[in-house]
Amino acid sequence: MTLVSLVKDSDTSKAVKDAVELVGGIDVKGTVLIKPNLSCAKPSGSGLVTNVEVVKAIVKIVADQGAKPVVGDLPILGWDPKKVFDATGIRAIEDAGGELLDWSDDHVEIKLPNAKVLKKTSLARPAIQADAIINVPVLKHHFFTHISGSMKNLFGLVEPNVRPRVHVLGLDEPLVDLYEFLKPKIVLNIMDATYIAQSVRPSGPYYGPTEAESVSNPNVVMVSRDAVALDSIAAGVVRINPNDIEMVRIAFERGLGDSDIKMVGNARGSNLKIKKSLIGKLLPYMADMWTSESLNSVAHPLAKRIYGKEVVSLKEARREMENAGPSDIIVAGECKKCGLCVNACPAKNIALDGDRPVFGDNCIKCFICVEICPGGALAIIRK
């Protein structure tokens, strides 16, 4: 059984603390990446980005355990991260003991070993190197996926220039692939429903969902260790059938979420509503054309005109996925047996055997071991 807590309180910090405690709390150490939604240059409380008060409360919980809280996200392609950080007020987490990261130029191309569709991607290095991740989405309507929830929030870890490829591959299954890869590191999902944006419409660079007609203020925080279960409950809370959320359905079918869910907390009977704008109702049909094998050739030129040169065709995106992992690591020099590569490997795929490192079968092709080797003993061999 999976617990999902729903807590309503006008004191946001207390709502976060109570909701976390209701699912058993957290026990973290080392570096903890707190991943809010900072998709656009809109203020905290707009319902379009994660409420800074929610993030500050999480920073304090992590810091009080002696761990190192770091906070980061990158916005929709086209937004300037620094302007987004200023507009959202996220820099306030530094006063609470957190460190704000900008990984604009710090992504690592990796292979996703068990992926069905997204076989490789370019991911923020801090997400790969963190000891734990706390996922902090804001609950809002999304044009293509009905809701922007826990699994969708992880999209912000993907390099912006790569995101159009994920869109054309269908978005839902690729993001389930990404969640499966990151799931072992995600210790908690904390969904911000303190403010909910209504009638969201496209605005700003790349026509992302960055403008709302109005904002409601439910003051609700939802928490679970299981992102799939949390997204399922969140859908129900905003009057959407969870079975209509393709991402949730796929994740359950792949065994990535527990459907035996128990809701706890004073807001477990919450019945909220997200209003959709007219264009928000129409855009999913464009997405269906864009990701359709038979219609992509028609939709692709229009998508490229709207979104820019980064948009690739479905055929090109699939070809890239089939060519995933074209390199291997070899021992090309004398190993000093320092063990740095063993400790740095995010996949725990390296062990020292005698006088040399030995590689297992779970390499994700991030090549951090090659970068960190002080003696230059490791090298990349291109196939």
Predicted pLDDT of residue 147: 81
Predicted pLDDT of residue 164: 80
**220 and 312 co-located in one domain:** yes
- Final residue before a domain boundary, out of 281, 303, 322: 322
Secondary structure letter of residue 246 according to DSSP: H
**242 and 309 co-located in one domain:** yes
User: Based on the structure, what is the number of domains in the chain?
Assistant: 2
Phi, psi (deg, nearest 5) at residue 64? -65, -20
User: Each residue of 155-176: pLDDT tens digit?
Assistant: 999 998 888 888 778 889 999 9
Containing structural domain, residue 150: 2-322
Q: Which ranges in the chain belong to alpha helices (H)?
A: 12-22, 52-64, 81-88, 125-129, 150-153, 163-168, 172-182, 227-237, 246-253, 278-290, 296-307, 314-322, 340-344, 368-372
**226 and 351 co-located in one domain:** no
38 Cβ contact partners less than 8 Å away, ≥ 6 residues apart:
49, 50, 73, 74, 75, 84, 85, 88, 90, 156
**204 and 179 co-located in one domain:** yes
Selection from 366, 332, 337 nearest residue 349 by Cα: 366
**304 and 332 co-located in one domain:** no
**85 and 164 co-located in one domain:** yes
**204 and 341 co-located in one domain:** no
Predicted pLDDT of residue 173: 93
CB 8 within 8 A of CB 16: no
**226 and 343 co-located in one domain:** no
**272 and 334 co-located in one domain:** no
Ranges under pLDDT 50 in the chain: 205, 326
User: Each residue of 229-286: pLDDT tens digit?
Assistant: 999 999 999 888 899 889 999 999 999 999 999 999 999 988 776 766 665 555 555 5
Mean pLDDT of the chain: 85
Predicted pLDDT of residue 248: 95
**134 and 210 co-located in one domain:** yes
Predicted pLDDT of residue 323: 62
- Final residue before a domain boundary, out of 322, 342, 372: 322
**190 and 82 co-located in one domain:** yes
**189 and 239 co-located in one domain:** yes
